[in-house]
Chains A and B, each alone.
Chain A
Amino acid sequence: MTVENSGNNHNGKFRSWLSGLLLDWDRTQMLICFFLVVLLAIAPFFISSTYYLGIIILATIYAFIGISWNIVAGFTGQLLIAHIIFLAVGAYTTIVLFNNFMISPWVGILIGGVIAALCGAIVAFITLRYGLKVDYFALFTIALMVALRTLFLKWDYVGGAVGMWFRLTNPSFDKMIFENKAPYLYIAIGLVVIGLIIQYRIYRSKMGKYFLAIREDDDAASALGVNTSQYKMIAVVIGAAMAGIGGGFYVMYVTFIEPPQVFNLGLNVEIVMAGPIIGGLGSLAGPVVGALLNKPFAEIMRGALTEGRSGSSLIVYGSFLILTIMFMPRGVTGVLHTIYRKIISQYQRKAQGDS
């Protein structure tokens, strides 16, 4: 060992850097995500089918939305079920600004994020003011979604029941309209990378510890000096802002929005909840790992089981989710963590044996 290290200093440095990385589960999870992101980035070079590329793009967007929900539901444990509200707000903002005011989606998406964040602040304020926790909080968000669906159905300015189409023009970077699918994928990957960095920075900071403490026991947290209301609100605002941005990009990609589509618990399960739950709610890699399994699985089932028995794919999909929750309550990342711990403890035992 020592001969090797002194013989090749660079190698030794690299090894200690790598072991520092791999001995830390948080960083190992980031490494897994980084690996998956690279796979996504090279996908267009190997997949020419626009259908499959489309699934990959949606899965990537879902990963970003999943991260936004993970910060609220996974970290602070707030049951923000109808998180899709914020996605819808961001999406509507982006499309209205583009169609009616000719504001570039690059800007519109950010404005959508800000407005979604404001909505998040309002939701958090009301629920905290009236002490709605856990199941009541969940019910409040669902009720709000239903109310907003009705409101948007009657609101002609945003298309009412007819919905809104993007006013498509010639492909141009300014308008975020591209001829082929690859640029959409790279924008989505960019969002996921930013999302992962934000999530990691939060997780490792004071704020992240406070979020987790609130999830675990909010009375105990407040006895240790945590302003639980303030931190719950911060989490909802961050999650809502990210979901709004994700929603803005989502609508740019699918080019159409209508109230029954976005104010919809079914889509909410698929786009917001399934990824983090399959991947491991509250973990760092969960939303990305989960989304990349969830969306392709749903699509494959849809393709395989549509003929003659439409809807039967949803039964399979639902059963898949239930089985995941029953047998992997901590998701795929939870299983990976167990394996990881076994490997690490063996490695450490071996290292002790060597010395």
Chain B
Amino acid sequence: MALLEVNRISKRFGGLVAVNDLNLKLDKGNILGLIGPNGAGKTTAFNMISGFYKPDEGEVLFDGQRINGLRPDQICRLGIARTFQVVKPFPQLSVRDNVMVGAYNRTNKRSEARQKALEIIEFLGMQDLSETTAGSLSVAYRKRLEVAKALATNPKIILLDEAMAGLRPTETDEMIELVRQVSKQGIALLLVEHVMRVIMSLAEQIVVIHHGEKIAEGEPKQIVRDKAVIDAYLGEVEIDVKG
């Protein structure tokens, strides 16, 4: 049984079908990439898994338990953490306090939460910034802080929503390495990503969606050769590059 199973979920906003009949499967410790052009419904799918939206149809199973209909905080407590595409730090709190909020998910003790937060901050190489207020961090560090907060909740799955968007190439490389490290701890990852280089080097399986529907699924090597994917998505990228 897969750790996370998304069965035929759909979401409509008025007349617009944002996600239609989507199936996903994520096994323990695996990395699944979710790609698609802008507006394909990636973030909507994310919001349904993490409890921010309720699916109109279908179900989301975590460890065999149905979780759609639960609130985001309940889903987080079960073991699914997420990051936000538009980062959401707690701007007036220090980096350490930001991460402590996550760490309190598994403990009520201040000393334990603090210890856990400091470990994670060190793991992410931000120990010199731990007293800095989150609002004054650079974009790259804000992205890292998102991962730190999610990691602090001690999840089984992390949903990363464009964690590399807006980063410089060297920063992206560091982030890829970080995500690998996270994966090595046995945490399963669902990546929504626009940067193809990231997806290709990280994901073991890729699902491509377009207009809210799955158009392809497979290993990275297969996906880049898939006709439908090239037409819908990779083709566009090529045109972008040439122009």
Contacts and interface: CB of A to CB of B under 8 A. Distances in A.
Nearest to B78: A225
A331 to B, nearest CB: 14
Contacts of A206: 104, 108, 110, 113
Contacts of B149: 220, 224
Interface string B155-180: 00000000000000000000000000
Contacts of A209: 97, 100-101, 104, 113
Interface stretch (A175-183, A211-219, A242-250, A272-280): A211-219
Contacts of B153: 224-225
Nearest to A224: B102
Contacts of B12: none
Contacts of B110: 204-206
A217 B83 CA distance: 13
Interface in A142-190: none
B77 interface: yes
Nearest to A226: B73
Nearest to B52: A219
A222 interface: yes
A214 to B, nearest CB: 9
A221 interface: yes
A206 B149 CA distance: 15
B72 interface: yes
Contacts of A137: none
Contacts of B101: 209-210, 212-213, 221, 224, 226
Contacts of A226: 73, 101
Nearest to B108: A206
A205 B150 CA distance: 20
B90 A213 contact: yes
A107 to B, nearest CB: 33
A220 B90 contact: yes
B105 interface: yes
Interface string B59-74: 0000000000001111
A205 B104 CA distance: 10
Contacts of B90: 212-213, 216-217, 220-221
Interface residues of A, number: 19
A39 interface: no
Contacts of B82: 223
A212 B152 CA distance: 17
A50 interface: no
Contact of B73 (A204, A212, A217, A222): A222
B84 interface: yes
Given A204-B110, A216-B91, A219-B52, A224 B97 contact: no
Nearest to B113: A206
B97 A223 contact: no
A210 B104 CA distance: 9
A143 B71 CA distance: 30
A349 to B, nearest CB: 16
B74 to A, nearest CB: 8
Nearest to B109: A206
Contacts of A204: 110
Contacts of B202: none
B30 interface: no
Q: Identify which of B88, B89, B93 gathers the most chain A CB atoms within 10 Å of its CB.
A: B88
Contact of A212 (B81, B93, B102, B108): B93
8 shortest interchain CB distances as A-B pairs: A216-B90, A220-B88, A225-B105, A225-B76, A222-B72, A213-B101, A224-B102, A206-B104
Interface of A: 204-206, 209-210, 212-213, 216-217, 219-228
8 contacts: A206-B113, A209-B100, A217-B89, A219-B84, A222-B73, A223-B50, A224-B76, A227-B74
Given A222-B76, A223-B50, A224-B153, 7 more contacts: A209-B113, A217-B88, A220-B89, A221-B101, A222-B73, A223-B73, A228-B73
